[in-house]
Structure 1
Amino acid sequence: MKYMTGNEIRKAYLQFFKSKEHLILHSFPLIPENDPSLLLIGAGMAPLKPYFTGKLVPPSYRVTTSQKCIRTDDIDNVGRTARHHTFFEMLGNFSFGNYFKKEAISWAWEFLTKVLELDTDKLYVTIYPDDKEAYDYWHNMIGLADERIFKFDDNFWEIGEGPCGPDSEIFYDLGPERGCGKPTCTVGCDCDRYLEIWNLVFTQYNRTKDGKYEPLAKKNIDTGCGLERLASVIQQKESNFETDLIFPIIEKVIAISGGDYSDPRQKMAMKVIADHIRAITFMISDGILPSNEGRGYVLRRILRRAVRFGRLLGIQDLFLAGLVDTVLDILGDEYPETREHEALIKQIINTEEKQFSATLAQGMELLNDMMAHVGDDKVLTGAEVFKLYDTYGFPMELTEEIAGEQGFKVDKDGFQAAMKEQQDRARAAHTKVSAKVATPDTTKLDQSKLVNDESAVKATIAMIGKDGVEISEARDGQEVTIILDDNPFHAEGGGQLSDTGVLCAAEGKAKVTDAQALPNGLVYLIAEITEGVLRTGDAVDIAVDKQRHLNLARNHTATHLLQAALRKVLGNHVNQAGSLVTPDHLRFDFTHFSPVTQAELDKIEALVNEEILKNVPVTIEEMALDAAKEKGAMALFGEKYGDVVRVVSVDDFSCELCGGSHVANTSVIGSFRITSETGTGFGVRRIEAVTGPAALKLAKDESQELQQLAGLLKAKVGDAPAKLEALLAQLKDTEKELAQLKKDAALSDMDSILAAKEDIGGVPVVAASAQADSMDNLRDLADTVLDKLGSGVVLLGMTHGDKVNFVCKVAKGDTKKGLHAGKIIKAAAQAAGGNGGGRPDMAQAGGKEPEKLAEALKAGVQAVSDILA
């Protein structure tokens, strides 16, 4: 076995299969394309599913990839084990009906033993018990003895609906020192001795929605070989995390934190951070942004988990973005898309980490409150701890550590039960998602005869599909997919919604509600049959919704002008971070470090309208990607481009790669109005705007609203702003006077409060009810009383509806005598049906029985006496 770096292993794998006539494809993005069954790409074969099912013609019948993958099913195990990751690379070689088991097994063995030079005596395989063919190849062709071939019932690969079949796994023996020591330890044992490094899936069947296994017309090969696992074997490392693919990140974390990798607790935290920053970098580079749902939630969860473990290592400053450079040093050359979005990746990470730091502080307050209200057993319930974990991102370990320092315990069983409930709900929801691909098998279509022509008004139906299956006809009420031989509908893409319209045949009509493009560019329509019947081969008259199409084109061209204007006004650091083009409005997300001022928005809006008034032609050219980049064309964030791209230019003002609809010249846009500018919560700003008819309607609506406002103010339209400003200034003065009156009222009974002073063990103590309308005022009043006393204890209570609230302040010098505001206020609050706690010098609490206020104050005084006794 010879030493190789992780990057060398990847290159060797791809080149080996290139020598076996495989086409090397760059990794697909982590966002699945046209596959509603997947949230993220989690396996090498996932993006290739249409080729396995035969619904699309592959670019080659032999393909090899190193696919970036994200899995979060076992996120809580990351860092605890040697192999679990959120992000990993899956090496794979695939055959779409070309070769099968013999070649797959032979080439796997050749690569492992000849190229990587692994010790053949340490290799073992598993097979499906009924797969005699695989057994014969391993035993007779490769020459493995029976004792090194294991038959397991779970050697059958499937992930719900779709292609599946028996598989054969290859294991490497890491040696008895890595095992459990049991006499029964062998392949399949739960210990770390026998490591699975490659899975060969013999895809023979297609599992239908109702659970049937139908033989595929062409048998396929799908293999998965974990790059990080293979590196750990070749580099002879204890785990994937010690390989050169990950450990440099850990070394950077050690340098930042000053931590100790030999400490098991710190070691786990460092592994989590190193794993998660890889996932974060690649997810953002593929167009995923933090949010509270879907892929964005996965990203946010991973990022927050990394921050939490950074805090456990004692890192208080922002640190995650600083690790991106190390990730790019390792993987940036293999995945250039990460380098292209480096600035955006770092900005989003910084902003999200900063925001979560504030959330952590809020979570700490809730944890302190939980501990203040816990029972005498000092056990935090599992439900409460899970709420901290689920809502505020507190890991149970962090809660346990903080609580333990103050003598509290965590109900771990209750926490796990709450966690399982959530996981069960998530699994139940996931099983409801259909795994179908929207179109039937399109490989029999002659794509050279299928054209996209925006001017087409007549066409022939080339194919009709229902639930992923080709049908010959569709009748009234059915929703189907339709492929035309001459298609004028523009497909959804690049943030732009699709065209809609109507198809009319001799015996039926259909309403086209959506248009989507397959990876090979073929456009299919989603349509509802509204009348009669449509059949394959029918001639149809086409009516695209022209007004919708024009409004989409207006808003899309305006989006390009907006991005160019933003860069001119705010700077070249502005990059697109998402967009939405609808017939009614446009939305554009972009990177920027602060809110855009009104003056800047006015300038941006003016620049766009200036280009509109110039009546500039919009030119569209197709050229090689390299030529487009030389021309200065900007790429859209998260979009995937082929070798030939479409370049949309507006004179020398704007030049972008884009496949969307556009106007012929800028004057068609009419006018451009910005309607809002906001932050999205992760270092990206968002502008929404309207054009054409929507901009005209906005101007009319605003004029009517201004006239209505002037009428209410009994002023002329031109005088309305000044009069409103004067009224607001008057209102502000009135609010200040009212606030002062309330404060004066709270202080007016100062004499009666001070009269309650008593001396306990030489310490002045004031316990009294007070008039206040808020906790802020009650705290201010307590501060004032303590200032008057000069030292001692102040305990104030106020009733508010059906509740009672308390504030306790203890002079700093008196805390040294053992006086503790948290303990004093807890005694008072419990006497009034509540609970509470806090710091030695300040605490606040509440109760549910306001009628017991006097009794509660006495209890507080008694607590002071008990402490000083």
Structure 2
Amino acid sequence: MQYMGLNEIREKFLAFFESKDHLRLPSFSLIPQGDKSLLLINSGMAPLKPYFTGEQEPPRRRVTTCQKCIRTGDIENVGKTARHGTFFEMLGNFSFGDYFKKEAIAWSWEFLTEVMGLDPNRLYPSIYEDDDEAFEIWNKQIGIPAERIFRFGKEDNFWEHGSGPCGPCSEIYYDRGEKYGCGKPGCTVGCDCDRYMEVWNNVFSQFNNDGHGNYTELVQKNIDTGMGLERLAVVMQDVDSLFDVDTVRNITDHVSRISGKTYGESYKTDVSLRVITDHIRSTVMMICDGVIPSNEGRGYVLRRLLRRAARHGKLLGIDKPFLYQVCDTVIQESGGAYPALIEKQEYIRKVIQVEEERFDATVDAGLSILNDMIEAAKKEGKTELPAADAFKLHDTYGFPIDLTIEILEEQGMTTDRDGFDALIQEQKERSREDRKRMGDLGWASEDLGLDKSLSTEFCGYDNLEATANVLAIVSEGESTDAVRAGAKLTLVLDRTPFYAEMGGQVPDHGIISHGDCEIEIDNVQKSGDGRMYLHSGVVKSGVVSRGDTVTCKVDKERRQAICRSHTATHLLQQALREVLGSHVEQAGSYTDADHVRFDFTHFAAMTPEEIVKVESIVNNAILEGMEVRTDEMPIDEAKKLGAMALFGEKYGDIVRVVRAGDFSIEFCGGTHLDNTAKAGMFKIVGEASVAAGVRRIEALTGRAFLEMFEKRQETLAEIASELKTTPNDVVVRAGQMVDEMRDLRRNIESLNGKLAEMKLVELFNLSRDVHGVNVLAAKLDDESPEIMRTLGDLIKERAPKMVAVLAVVTGESKVQLLCVCGKEALAAGAHAGKIVKEVAKLCGGGGGGRPDSASAGGKNPAKLEEALEAVNNIVDAMLK
């Protein structure tokens, strides 16, 4: 056996099965496509389920992949052991009704012994206890002695998941030697120690389980082979754990350089280094596949991993964001196998950096509060933090419950997790909004009662009118044969020109007619499996029956307006990438009639200059009058052309590509203009944040732009009329008025100063001596708050021994108070903020401020005189 790097092992495996007529497929996205049972892809076969179940035809009967996988079920053990991790790569070879046990076993043995060069005498196969067929292959054909073939029961060597396809397994174990063993006399294959490592698992999908324990032979038998790439690398490199494999260890070394810690120097340090190494691998891959940190779903998994890694960085003494730097090493090590990592490197770095900075703020706010809670609990002799406290940290300060639990464990404490979960559920129930009522459309979208073999052909790219046959009718939640005027209904047709809502594009509206029957359609959705188009509307006249031949007519003006928006969206995305950078990716969109809402990945508010530049680029592309072409082509050809794909979107072998001249090219199933000039004009009317690292642009096109322009012209004309000028001279006249107001303000300030000077002498005569400090409390009649502030400044400047409380009653019958203290009064112990606070309380208000100057307000002018009379006593008590 020779040393072999992880990247080399991956390539050798895939090339080996290519030589066995397997189609090499790239790793599928970590975001499951069409599988709501999974949050993230967690095995090599998970993305291939439709091929195993027969729902989809595989691209070839033999396939091989190296699949990125995420599993977080044992996240608490990551770092504490040398074997647990959340990210791994799964090598696999698959047969969909082609070869079976004989070939699968033979090729697994050939690869391990001949390609990898492993010693056959250190390899031990296991089989399901009743699988004599597999035993015969191993024993008679491969030549493994019977005593070296291990039979295990269902728990270990039979794969099934409820009802459906299932079957026995045959695993291959490698003996790593006595140094990895437990030392027990009976230590052998199947022992829990690390000596015998499973490196291969052949799953023979042979039976169908009806869910009641009854098994029947499948007509089409499949092979699902899985092998952890990191596990095989451990064997080929003769290292202790997956954290010592070359590509993984290089990441750990990078963290060590940043932290100044050495891997292997202490268990505590090693735990943190392993957590960071594992979690940064997971986060880089997840972000690359389109996951963004959030508080729910897979976004929460990502946020949890990132924040756990960041916290362990703090435990290592790293007091600033660093993970975004470590991600460069992850990309360097894996970019050859996953080129998208290199393409999105800038974007991945930025997402991580922003999340780290957010986490720093969260930790600073929440950690001290948690420490206070822990200290208070310990003083009371408690070892459990109340669920209410954990919930407050989560809900008010954004402090993750997982982090709370980890910190509590380090302090020898726990929290009531069930109670916390109950409080979370209560919050969800309180804040849950009523679902939008969709009438029959909502019922039909679940396909209840409808023949699932029904399907609708979409013919609306080139035609806005078509004839069709009514396949099904739903009204009032029930399938029916006919519906009369006045009823709401949902129709399923065999073909339609109506575009169903998808990809952010709103649905078409229009009319479906048949003789004297007319149906007004105001919503079109696809069924859950995407096969049926569900046309929702109201029967305005006549009767429609199942089997009728109807005429469909899309609202042409509305469709054209939607096309303007959708084509403008493509131009907008390209303009954003040109101005902001290639990290910009679409994160959602909404294209309505002449209205665009576009969400995109970016990490700072756009500057006014950037917004103007993007808008200008889009309008130039419109004015250029570029042809908009739509072509269907193989997905590989489209990628070679540089077509942009949407994060998380599923595409088939043949894709629809929309090109606007040489300016923009994207995968898109929506409807578009045939020339950019028909978009009219494009105007950005809003830019804001909608989530961490996601911005939103609101824009107008077509008639919506014209309406906005006309309204602004009307407003401009009204302003000009008020200013007694013309629209062309509004700016000049406004500038003149600003200058006039500035002069008036200066004059007022000058007059206020003179009035204050005159008032000052009068006020000084009203002061009283309190412990050597002159105390003044006065209500200023018919004076403005501005004069009061001017007086306060003069008193501080000219009367260092004075404490003055001044008051005015405004036209709203509210009291405004000001307290100032001169330098010598401050030295004697006076404090303006404390004084004015006490005075304000007496007239129904509050306030405070600095020692030398503070303001407050009151709601009860009737109590003002009483409050001012108390000033002397307040100051007297303070100076004593």
- TM above 0.5: yes
| 1:318 aligns with one of 296, 318, 321 | 321
CA offsets per residue over residues 530-557 of structure 1, 9 Å max, x none? 998768xx97755556555434422221
Q: Does residue 1:251 correspond to 2:259, yes or no?
A: no
Structure 2 match to 1:115: 115
Structure 1 match to 2:658: 648
Structure 1 match to 2:588: 579
What aligned pairs does 1:819-834 form with structure 2 within 5 A after superposition?
none
Give the drift of 1:658. Answer: 4.0
Structure 1 match to 2:295: 292
Structure 2 match to 1:332: 335
- Cα distance change of structure 1 residues 462 and 119 upon mapping to structure 2, 3 Å threshold: farther
Structure 2 match to 1:689: 699
Structure 2 match to 1:764: none
Secondary structure at the aligned position of 1:37 is classed as coil
Aligned residue type for 1:686: R
Structure 1 window deviating more from structure 2 (122-131 vs 579-588): it is: 122-131
Aligned residue type for 1:22: H
| 1:194 aligns with one of 187, 193, 196 | 196
Structure 2 match to 1:80: 80
Secondary structure at the aligned position of 1:201 is classed as strand
Q: For the residues of structure 1 that align with 2:233 and 2:424, how far apart are their CA atoms?
A: 32
Q: Does residue 1:392 correspond to 2:399, yes or no?
A: yes
Q: For the residues of structure 2 that align with 1:211 and 1:168, how far apart are their CA atoms?
A: 21
Q: For the residues of structure 2 that align with 1:398 and 1:154, how far apart are their CA atoms?
A: 32
- Cα distance change of structure 1 residues 481 and 345 upon mapping to structure 2, 3 Å threshold: farther
CA offsets per residue over residues 610-642 of structure 1, 9 Å max, x none? 443554432335667787677665555555777
Aligned residue type for 1:106: A
CA offsets per residue over residues 181-238 of structure 1, 9 Å max, x none? 4455444444333333233222345678999978655222222211111111221121
Secondary structure at the aligned position of 2:239 is classed as coil
Structure 2 match to 1:56: 56
CA offsets per residue over residues 247-280 of structure 1, 9 Å max, x none? 1100111111111211211111111111122222
Structure 1 match to 2:244: 242
| 1:514 aligns with one of 510, 514, 525 | 525
Give the drift of 1:290. Answer: 2.0
Structure 2 match to 1:609: 619
Q: For the residues of structure 1 that align with 2:423 and 2:13, how far apart are their CA atoms?
A: 40
Structure 2 match to 1:145: 146
Q: Does residue 1:771 correspond to 2:778, yes or no?
A: no
- Cα distance change of structure 1 residues 145 and 544 upon mapping to structure 2, 3 Å threshold: farther
- Cα distance change of structure 1 residues 753 and 610 upon mapping to structure 2, 3 Å threshold: closer
CA offsets per residue over residues 788-821 of structure 1, 9 Å max, x none? xxxxxxxxxx9x99xxxxxxxxxxxxxxxxxxxx
Instruction: Report 1 or 2 for greater relative contact order, CA contacts < 8 Å, sequence distance ≥ 6.
Output: 1
* Paired residue total: 753
Contact 2:496–2:552 (Cα < 8 Å) also in 1: no
Per the normalisation by structure 1, the TM-score is: 0.71
Structure 2 match to 1:17: 17
Q: For the residues of structure 1 that align with 2:705 and 2:672, how far apart are their CA atoms?
A: 18
Contact 1:203–1:222 (Cα < 8 Å) also in 2: yes
Give the drift of 1:60. Answer: 0.6
Structure 1 window deviating more from structure 2 (379-388 vs 103-112): it is: 379-388
Q: For the residues of structure 2 that align with 1:556 and 1:416, how far apart are their CA atoms?
A: 47
Contact 2:472–2:492 (Cα < 8 Å) also in 1: yes
Q: For the residues of structure 1 that align with 2:110 and 2:453, how far apart are their CA atoms?
A: 36
Q: For the residues of structure 2 that align with 1:462 and 1:62, how far apart are their CA atoms?
A: 41
Aligned residue type for 1:771: E
Aligned residue type for 2:309: A
Secondary structure at the aligned position of 1:395 is classed as helix
What aligned pairs does 1:812-851 form with structure 2 within 5 A after superposition?
none
Structure 1 window deviating more from structure 2 (362-371 vs 217-226): it is: 362-371
Structure 1 match to 2:235: 233
- Cα distance change of structure 1 residues 593 and 528 upon mapping to structure 2, 3 Å threshold: closer
Give the drift of 1:726. Answer: 11
Q: For the residues of structure 1 that align with 2:237 and 2:446, how far apart are their CA atoms?
A: 41
Structure 1 window deviating more from structure 2 (617-626 vs 680-689): it is: 617-626
Structure 1 match to 2:812: none
Q: For the residues of structure 2 that align with 1:424 and 1:172, how far apart are their CA atoms?
A: 47
| 2:362 aligns with one of 341, 359, 364 | 359
Q: Which structure: larger Rg?
A: 2
Aligned residue type for 1:556: H
CA RMSD of aligned residues (A): 5.5
Give the drift of 1:330. Answer: 1.4
Q: Which runs of 5+ in 1 are unaligned?
A: 427-435, 467-471, 758-766, 786-797, 802-853, 858-869
Structure 1 window deviating more from structure 2 (76-85 vs 128-137): it is: 128-137
Q: Does residue 1:598 correspond to 2:608, yes or no?
A: yes
- Cα distance change of structure 1 residues 61 and 598 upon mapping to structure 2, 3 Å threshold: same
Q: What percentage of aligned pairs have identical amino acids? A: 43
Give the drift of 1:579. Answer: 3.3
| 1:306 aligns with one of 309, 334, 338 | 309
Give the drift of 1:180. Answer: 3.6
Q: For the residues of structure 1 that align with 2:154 and 2:496, how far apart are their CA atoms?
A: 51
What aligned pairs does 1:655-804 form with structure 2 within 5 A after superposition?
655-696=665-706, 698=708, 771=838, 780-781=850-851
Secondary structure at the aligned position of 2:155 is classed as coil
- Cα distance change of structure 1 residues 203 and 487 upon mapping to structure 2, 3 Å threshold: farther
Contact 2:492–2:535 (Cα < 8 Å) also in 1: yes
Q: For the residues of structure 2 that align with 1:320 and 1:361, how far apart are their CA atoms?
A: 18
What aligned pairs does 1:124-273 form with structure 2 within 5 A after superposition?
124-142=124-142, 143-145=144-146, 148-153=150-155, 155-159=157-161, 163-183=165-185, 185-204=187-206, 216-262=218-264, 263-273=266-276
Secondary structure at the aligned position of 1:229 is classed as helix
